Amino acid sequence: MYKKVKEKEVEDSSPEILAWSREDKGYLQTPIMYIFPQSGDEIKDKKFFIIKDYEKALFYNKGELVGVLTGGLYQIDKKARIKGTEIVYIDISLIEIPWGIPQIKGIPTKDGYIVGLYGDLKLRINDVKVFYNDIVAGTKIWTIQDLKDWITSLLHTSLRDIFKKYNAKNIMLENREKVINLVSTKIKEEFVKYGLVLDTFNVIGIKTAENVEKLFEEEKEKLLYLNTQKNSILQRIKELKDKLNELQNLLLDDKLTKMEYEKKKQLIQIFIEESEEELRKLKINLEDFSKDESSITNSSKIIENKLKICKYCGKEIDEDSKICSYCGNDLEI
């Protein structure tokens, strides 16, 4: 059906050579697949076809896959230059895709909050046969936008499986990194099934209700209470130690007998030890809450970042957003 030949044997500009010539239609409308012949094309006019280094091709004859081809120049056998021969070019270069799930179509958490999120990823099409059969599935045109739409649908399913196990607070605070890692691992596994290799996956922002801070109001109040308690215990310990010094001075001034001094000293030391143990336990709680407080600060950046207005829905969103986290529209179109 075909054979690979040395490129120097033919002229690149020859009309007998088939190659994928791309048009600039804007990034998201960039095709990642090209099928020959298109309407009006004649396979009989072509003797050679070129596959570039960042492409792979599927060679079909009468609906049957003959081979998966990598970069190079190929000569088409005369018997294959007939109706029924089809060459499917697929771009295997690194593709960067911004993705987003708007809050209005967001993912429910275990405790019923709806979460929207957005980010970006980079991927390559590795197994072109699986990609063409299982994702493209007979479609004649496939662009980066089509791939983005398919990924969004896959993300929706994968995120539902993960988010249903976590409360909103877990996702936003305590287990934020864990959840993101779970999502990344899940997406990688799913991509492999469809012939895709995930290079990077980033979650740039997570959105809950606009009054998201109320979720953490109780924790903030408790943190304030613990800090108040801590200061109170520290003051108590200081006063008890001052009392010990006073007792010692009374003893030195013979205003207190040795027996009275030892009795009162022992009692005060018991109070100090109890207070120090209470302080130790309180500090453990404060350390845990400090981690949450740090997470709250980090999460609040989602809300406190410089904002801009989405030109589609009018909502305030992060200044650097490529995807509106409310309506899901691409802001670069």
pLDDT in tens, 180-228: 888 889 999 999 999 999 999 998 888 776 555 565 666 667 777 888 8
Q: What is the pLDDT of residue 297?
A: 45
pLDDT in tens, 143-163: 999 999 999 999 999 899 999
> 46, 39, 36: which is closest to 2 by C-alpha?
46
pTM for this structure? 0.66
Q: What is the pLDDT of residue 114?
A: 87
pLDDT at 51 over 90: yes
Q: Can you read off the two tokens belonging to residue 11?
A: 């002229």
C-alpha of 174 from chain center: 17
Residue keyed to tokens 């404060």? 286
> 95, 73, 104, 112: which is closest to 146 by C-alpha?
95
pLDDT in tens, 94-141: 999 999 998 888 899 888 888 888 999 999 999 999 999 999 988 889
Q: What is the pLDDT of residue 214?
A: 61
Residue keyed to tokens 């779970």? 182
